[in-house]
Amino acid sequence: MDRVPVLKLGDILIVSIQIDLQDQSVLALQEDLANKVVETGARGVIIDITAVEIVDSFIGRMLATIAAISRMLDAETVVVGMRPAVAITLVELGLSLGGVRTALNLEKGVALLNHIDGSEIATAAR
Residues that bind another protein (CB under 8 A): 78-80, 82-85, 87-88, 90-92, 96-97, 101-105, 108-109, 112, 115, 118
Nearer to another protein, 1 or 122 (CB): 122
CA angle, 21 then 26 then 28, to 5°: 130
Nearer to another protein, 29 or 78 (CB): 78
Q: How far is the CB of 29 from another protein (least distance, A)?
A: 20
Q: How far is the CB of 22 from another protein (least distance, A)?
A: 23
Show the beta-strand stretches assigned E in the chain: 6-9, 12-16, 44-48, 76-80, 101-103
Q: How far is the CB of 42 from another protein (least distance, A)?
A: 20
CA 92 to chain centroid: 21
What is each CA distance from 40 to 30, 32, 49, 120, in whole angstroms?
15, 12, 23, 20
DSSP SS3 for 8: strand
Q: How far is the CB of 38 from another protein (least distance, A)?
A: 27
Nearer to another protein, 122 or 124 (CB): 122
Nearer to another protein, 23 or 92 (CB): 92
